[in-house]
Amino acid sequence: MCGIVGYVGNKACQDVILGSLERLEYRGYDSSGIASIDNDQLVLRRAVGKLSELKAKTQLEPVSGRIGIGHIRWATHGGVTEKNAHPHLVNGEVAIVHNGIIENYADLKKELIEKDFLFNSDTDSEVLAHLFARAFNEGLEPVAALRTVLKKIEGAFAFAAISKSHPETLLVARNASPLAIGFSDEMAIVASDATAMAHLTSRVTYLKDNDYAVITAKNCDIFDGNNELAKREIVQVKAAPILLDKAGFRHYMEKEIHEQPDAISHTISAMTDVSGNLTAGLDSSSLSQIKQIVLVAAGTSFYAAQIGRYWIERLAGIPVVCEIASEYHYRNPAVNGYTTAIVISQSGESIDSLMAMRHAKILGLETLGIVNVADSSIAREADRILPTRAGPEIGVASTKAFTAQLVVLICLAIALGKNNGRLDSSRANHLFQNLLKIPGAIGKSMKLFDQIRPIAHRLKNARSCLFLGRDVLFPLACEGALKLKELSYIHAEGFASGEMKHGPIALVEDGLPIVSFVSEDEMARKAVSNLKEAEARGGYIIVVGTQTAVDMIDFAVEKIIIPNCEPILAPIVGAIPVQILAYLTAFEKGTDIDQPRNLAKSVTVE
Ligand code: F6R
C-alpha cells in the first residue's frame, strides 16, 4: 500500500511532508523517508520503523529545501530495511516515491542492469528512479520524461519524482492507486489522499487513472492517458482533521470501541428520512430494481457482507452471493440475473474492492458502495453510496466501521423486504424499533471490559483458538478469529458450529479455547449439541450470548453475557465482546494494538 507525498512551495518542505506522512500512517508503518532539493543537492533521510524514527532523524539532520517528496512504506517487494525504504535516489540526480506495484519490474530491472545501471534496493519501485534518471540524462524535459517512463511501466502505481535538473517541478502519475493534488497560493501538494493535505488546503483535485501531471508552486498541467491536457475539477474537501487525541483512552482501538453507540446512531440517521422513517437512502423504485445482489468486500468488511446476506435473504427474499473482492474480478463471475453489486469498504480505498467494483460496472451491474470515507475512490466511483457514519477509524483493526456496516445492511434488508412485501409493516417496524435500541445495548456492553479481562489473561498463553457460531453468528465467529489473530498474533479460526464434526473437531485437545456465540432462537439447541461434542474432548469453552442463551450451556467455563436484543440483531451487539476479547488479549500480550505487525489500515496493493 504505502502513502506518498510531494510538496513544492514557499515553505521549507520538511514539516509539511512529515505532517502529511503522519496523516498517511494508516497506509503502512514499516519505514518512511523524505527527499528534498536543498542548496542544489538532493538530500535523503530514511528510517526503518514508525514515522517517529524519521522524525527523530530529521530533527538531528533537518532538510530545508522548498520542494520534496515523502513516503511511508508497507513492504511489498523487499524486506523492511533502510535500503528498501523510499525515496529511492539515483546518482544524486533523481528521487522517487511510489505506492503500488510495478508488475513488469523484473524485466525492466534486467534490461537496466544489462545497461550497467546499479540497483541499491530489492524493491520494484527503484526501476522508476532509474527510468527517470535515464530520461533526464537523455536531455528530456519533464513532460517527455514522464511519458517515456509511463510507456515502460505496467501495474498499479501512484508516484512522485523530483529531479535536480528541474528543481522547481514535481512529476506525478497514477494508475489504480489514488493520488490527489491540493492547491493554495504559492504551493502545491500531492498525496495518496486528501486528508494528508488538510493542514494546508481544502482545494483538491483527484487524478484519474492514467493521468499524469507536471506541477510547480504556481502551475499544474494534468494530462490524460491520451497525452491530452486534461481539465480535472477542483473540489472543496472537508477533510476531517487528524485525530491525534485518544480522548484519555490507551489506544485508538479502545476509543473506537467506545464510540460505537454514536457511530451506530449516526449511521441509523443516515438510513432514515427527515421524518425518521427507514429508507436505507433509496426510494421505492430504486429498491424495486434490486433483484439479485452480489456483496463484495475484503477482511472484516467481508464478514459484514456475509451477515448481510443472511439478513437480506431472510427479510427480503432476494438472492445474495458474497464475494471476496480479490477473487471477484479474476474469476469471470456469471452475472445472469444479478442486478446490483454492493461493495463494502471502510476506507473506500482497498484496491481489491475498488477493482471488483470496476469489474462489476463492466459486467453491467449497478454499483452501490457502503463506505465510511466520504471522498474515497469507491465513494466517488460507485453509482450510489450508502454511507456508514462511523467517523474516522484510526486503529488498524476495524471496529466501529464494522458495526456501522452491519447497521446499513440490516436497514437495507428491512427496506428491501418492506418494499417487496416480504416483510409486513408491523414486523419491519418492530425490527427497526429494536435497531434503535442497539446503541443503548452497546453502551451497556462496555461493562464487558471487566468481565472479559480475566479470560484474556488466560487466552494470552494460547497457541490457537477456535470461534464457532451458527446462522447469523457464523460470520461473527470468523470476524472474532480475524480480530484475535491480527491483534494478538494467536492462531485462530472461525467455523460454522455444525461444521466442527466434519473435520475441525480433530483440532480439539485439552485446554483448546473455543469461543462460541449462542443465540436464543431455534438454532440454540443444535449449538448446544455441537459444543457438548467439543467439551467432551477437553475444549475450554467460552460462550457469548444473552443471559437466556448462555444459561443453556451450563458446562461452559466462561460466560460472556451480552445485553438482550432481537436475535436477528445479535451480530451487532455480539461484535462488542469480539472486539474487547481481541483488544484485551493483545493488551495482555503487549502487542502493538493500533498498528499490529505487517498490517496497514488501507490496503491499496493487490
Ligand atoms: C480487520 C480489517 C481488515 C479490513 C480489510 C478491508 O480488522 O480492518 O480486514 O476490513 O482490509 O478494508 P476496507 O473495509 O477498508 O476495504
- pLDDT tens digits for range 453-476: 999 999 999 999 999 999 999 999
- For residue 302, the ligand 1 atom closest to its alpha carbon is 10
CB 343 within 8 A of CB 357: yes
CB 307 within 8 A of CB 475: yes
Of 346, 483, 583, the one to substitute when testing ligand 1's pocket (max ligand atoms within 8 A of C-beta) is 346
Nearest residue (CA) to ligand 1, atom 7 = 397
In this predicted structure, the answer to whether residue 148 has a pLDDT above a threshold of 80 is yes
In this predicted structure, the answer to whether residue 293 has a pLDDT above a threshold of 90 is yes
Our measurement of the distance from residue 366's CA atom to the centroid of its chain's CA atoms, rounded to an integer in Å, reads 23
In this predicted structure, the answer to whether residue 278 has a pLDDT above a threshold of 90 is yes
94/165 Cα distance (integer angstroms): 8
The position carrying cell 452497546 is 442
- CA angle, 33 as apex, 252 and 98 as ends, to 5°? 95
Cis amide bond preceding 475, omega within 30: no
Q: Which helix (H) or strand (E) holds 384?
A: strand 384-387
Percent of the residues in the chain that have a pLDDT greater than 70, as a whole number: 98
**The three grid cell numbers given for residue 251, joined into one nine-digit string:** 489506544
Task: Find the 304 Cα to ligand 1 centroid distance in Å.
Answer: 10
In this predicted structure, the answer to whether residue 144 has a pLDDT above a threshold of 60 is yes
Our measurement of the distance from residue 84's CA atom to the centroid of its chain's CA atoms, rounded to an integer in Å, reads 24
Task: Find the 336 Cα to ligand 1 centroid distance in Å.
Answer: 29
In this predicted structure, the answer to whether residue 350 has a pLDDT above a threshold of 80 is yes
Identify the active-site residue in 255, 418, 559, 601. 601
Of 192, 300, 393, the one to substitute when testing ligand 1's pocket (max ligand atoms within 8 A of C-beta) is 300
Nearest residue (CA) to ligand 1, atom 9 = 299
Maximum CA extent, the chain:
80
**The three grid cell numbers given for residue 462, joined into one nine-digit string:** 494460547
pLDDT at position 247 = 67
Active site residue 322: no
Sign of the dihedral defined by the CA atoms of residues 332, 334, 340, 342, in that order = negative
CA distances from 102 to 30, 76, 126, 158, 326 (A): 19, 11, 10, 10, 18
In this predicted structure, the answer to whether residue 342 has a pLDDT above a threshold of 70 is yes
Give residues (CB < 6 A) around ligand 1. 298-301, 345-347, 350, 353, 397-398, 482, 486, 602-603
Nearest CA to 271 out of 260, 262, 280, 282 is that of: 280
Identify the active-site residue in 2, 220, 411, 478. 2
Nearest CA to 296 out of 331, 337, 326, 338 is that of: 326
CB 205 within 8 A of CB 235: yes
Lowest mean pLDDT among 61-65, 214-218, 296-300, 598-602: 598-602
Task: Find the 267 Cα to ligand 1 centroid distance in Å.
Answer: 18
The position carrying cell 467481508 is 302
- For residue 402, the ligand 1 atom closest to its alpha carbon is 10
Task: Find the 353 Cα to ligand 1 centroid distance in Å.
Answer: 10
> Which positions ≥6 away from 465 have C-beta within 8 Å?
459, 481, 484, 490, 491, 492, 493, 512, 513, 514, 515
CB 179 within 8 A of CB 192: yes
Scored b (16 or more CB within 10 A) or e, 170-208 reads: bbbbbbbbbbbbbbeeebbbbbbbbbbbbbbbeebbbbe
Task: Find the 350 Cα to ligand 1 centroid distance in Å.
Answer: 8
245 band by pLDDT with thresholds 50, 70 and 90: low
244 band by pLDDT with thresholds 50, 70 and 90: low
Active site residue 2: yes
**The three grid cell numbers given for residue 74, joined into one nine-digit string:** 508497507
CB 232 within 8 A of CB 206: yes
